[in-house]
A and B are shown apart, each in its own frame.
Chain A
Amino acid sequence: MVVKRIRLRKALHARPAALFVRAAIDSGAFVMLGRPGAAPVDARSIVSVLGLDIRAGEEVELSAPEAVLGRLVAVLESP
């Protein structure tokens, strides 16, 4: 598992969250998302990801195997 810290330009509302969760599921890996210093949630659950209520400009921590990390970061960073 690699942990990567990212500042999000967009809020994780239903549609961007759905895109990210879809990518996490499709990666076939165990992926977690959370705020730095707080307990992360299973990134394959859209209900859990929406529960984080991430706003535009916030920093998040993504934990995923190195092989899939780059792809997931790209989805989170896409405008």
Chain B
Amino acid sequence: MIIEGPVVWHRPSFIQSEPVPAAEALRRVARECEQRAESAPAEAAEMLRAQAMMARDPVLLDRMEALAAAGQYPFEVADSFGIAHADLRDVIERAMHHCRGMVRAPMPRPGHPHVLVARSLSATDMLELDRGTVRGILTIEGGPTSHAAILARSFGIPFLAGYAEAACLTDGQVVRVEVPSPSLRFPDVPLLANVSTLDDALAAAPVADGIGLLRTEFLYPSLDYRPLVAPFEGRPVVIRVLDLGDRDENPLGVRGLRYLRRHEDMLERQLAAIAALPRPVSVMAPMVATVEDAAWFVTRARGFGIAEVGVMIEVPSAALCAEEILEVADFASIGTNDLTQFTFAASREEAALASYQDASHPAVLRLIETAVTAGKRRGKPVGVCGEAAADPAFAATLVGLGVSSLSLPVTLLPRR
């Protein structure tokens, strides 16, 4: 795909206007949200209506007025609630701008076809776009899985994020940039969905070739997977048994299969429920580290008559021993998020170490390649599940390495 046209920069700025009291500021924010919701895609519209409801909540007005009277910045309202809720914070910040007599300058509407260039764009910016005239978007920061990129995809607008060269572009200059094909669909590589809830399953059914990862933790204590599996008749479904952990939530602690080995009755109840489903499905275990782990799980699952039994490859030791593991297991699914954090020994919860969360680093790629090659040698499929596969360039690399399927969060699946 090619982005071509005259550059129009969007540089966020504020216009001075009349300061207004908190009540009026919140009313304005509510109206802005409601107006935007009218023309937004369904998912964004729901979010905007929730934000309008926050802006119209008398409790918020009381707090803002009380803090303004005490001479505090309304900004601290969000903290005073003891929550770091991004949508609520956004409402408060926008209301505060109105209180101070500052209004954000709107997105440019030059009235002719153009290429929009910005340092970064928020979801709110995207909803203000003049979709009729934007031929493409280039941002210096951001990535293919940002909110803005996902919305651009849903609008059908070519979007290139992380394009540092954009910094040198000037208004009016005509650019021509080739965007790597955004297609995540490769011949013979099924595009599956990661599903955690019934909503996910219903949203995925029209666009996915099956379920590559059905997480059961969020449904627990329910063990009834029938409603989630039903919409995928005739397509593969892989259910992952519970990935729960002991209280400390240490990712290197007693969790996943390690936890289930200490709570075997829990696993058995779940396997019985899965075996009783009206159609055959595959099961797999999280946090498998050794061949012995894999063999333990495969024996239990087979005991319930489940035919296809696999393992997650998230621990580097499992990737390195994939050949032996695939001697006992029927398939493997590489979880790129955990594999990456364990490879670099860098927690993905730790913002200061975010630069290590790079699944396309050669260290991670070598582990993936080892596992995929083992699968080929054993004649067993090895797929990938994780957000990283939503990056078309990375997905192409994975397919090049020979992965058998890609499984993505529902929100990142391209429409058919």
Residues of A at the B interface (CB closer than 8 Å) are: 7, 9-10, 14-15, 17-18, 21-22, 42, 45-48, 50-51, 53, 56-57, 79
Give every chain B residue within 8 A of A10 (Cβ-Cβ).
197, 218
B47 adjacent to A14 (CB under 8 Å): yes
B46 at interface by CB-CB < 8 Å = yes
Contact of B82 among A7, A21, A42, A51 (CB under 8 A): A51
The CA of A56 and the CA of B199, in the complex, are separated in Å by 14
What string of 1s and 0s marks CB contacts (under 8 Å) between B76-97 and chain A?
0000011101011000000000
Q: Which residues of B331-381 have CB atoms within 8 Å of chain A's CB atoms?
A: none
The CA of A23 and the CA of B332, in the complex, are separated in Å by 44
The CA of A19 and the CA of B47, in the complex, are separated in Å by 11
B53 adjacent to A22 (CB under 8 Å): yes
The CA of A17 and the CA of B51, in the complex, are separated in Å by 11
The CA of A18 and the CA of B227, in the complex, are separated in Å by 24
Contact of B50 among A15, A45, A51, A53 (CB under 8 A): A15
B220 at interface by CB-CB < 8 Å = yes
Give every chain B residue within 8 A of A46 (Cβ-Cβ).
50, 53-54, 57
B219 at interface by CB-CB < 8 Å = yes
- Distance to closest chain A CB from B223 (angstroms): 12
Give every chain A residue within 8 A of B220 (Cβ-Cβ).
57
| With known contacts A15-B47, A42-B59, A46-B54, A53–B87 Cβ distance under 8 A | no
A45 adjacent to B47 (CB under 8 Å): no
A-B contact pairs, 13 of them (CB 8 A): A9-B197, A9-B222, A10-B218, A14-B85, A18-B46, A22-B53, A46-B53, A47-B57, A47-B88, A48-B59, A50-B54, A57-B220, A79-B199
Give every chain A residue within 8 A of B277 (Cβ-Cβ).
none
The CA of A3 and the CA of B213, in the complex, are separated in Å by 37
- Distance to closest chain B CB from A1 (angstroms): 21
B123 at interface by CB-CB < 8 Å = no
The CA of A50 and the CA of B221, in the complex, are separated in Å by 24
The CA of A17 and the CA of B57, in the complex, are separated in Å by 13
Q: Which 7 A-B pairs have the closest CB atoms?
A: A18-B50, A79-B198, A45-B59, A14-B50, A47-B57, A47-B60, A47-B59
Besides A14-B85, A15-B50, A18-B53, 18 more A-B contacts (Cβ < 8 Å) are: A9-B222, A10-B197, A10-B218, A14-B50, A14-B88, A15-B46, A18-B46, A18-B50, A46-B54, A46-B57, A47-B54, A47-B57, A48-B59, A50-B81, A50-B85, A50-B88, A51-B82, A51-B83
B50 adjacent to A17 (CB under 8 Å): yes
Q: Give the interface size bracket for B toward A.
A: 20 to 34
B81 adjacent to A47 (CB under 8 Å): yes
The CA of A50 and the CA of B218, in the complex, are separated in Å by 19
B57 adjacent to A18 (CB under 8 Å): no
B85 adjacent to A9 (CB under 8 Å): no
Residue of A nearest to B46 (CB): A15
Interface centre among A14, A17, A21, A56 (most CB of B within 10 A): A14
- Distance to closest chain B CB from A14 (angstroms): 4
Q: Which residues of B162-207 have CB atoms within 8 Å of chain A's CB atoms?
A: 197-199
Q: Which residues of B16-71 have CB atoms within 8 Å of chain A's CB atoms?
A: 46-47, 49-51, 53-54, 57-60, 63
A9 adjacent to B51 (CB under 8 Å): no
Residue of A nearest to B198 (CB): A79
Give every chain B residue within 8 A of A21 (Cβ-Cβ).
53
A56 adjacent to B218 (CB under 8 Å): yes
The CA of A7 and the CA of B218, in the complex, are separated in Å by 12
Interface centre among B50, B54, B227 (most CB of A within 10 A): B50
The CA of A42 and the CA of B198, in the complex, are separated in Å by 28
Contact of A18 among B49, B81, B198, B219 (CB under 8 A): B49
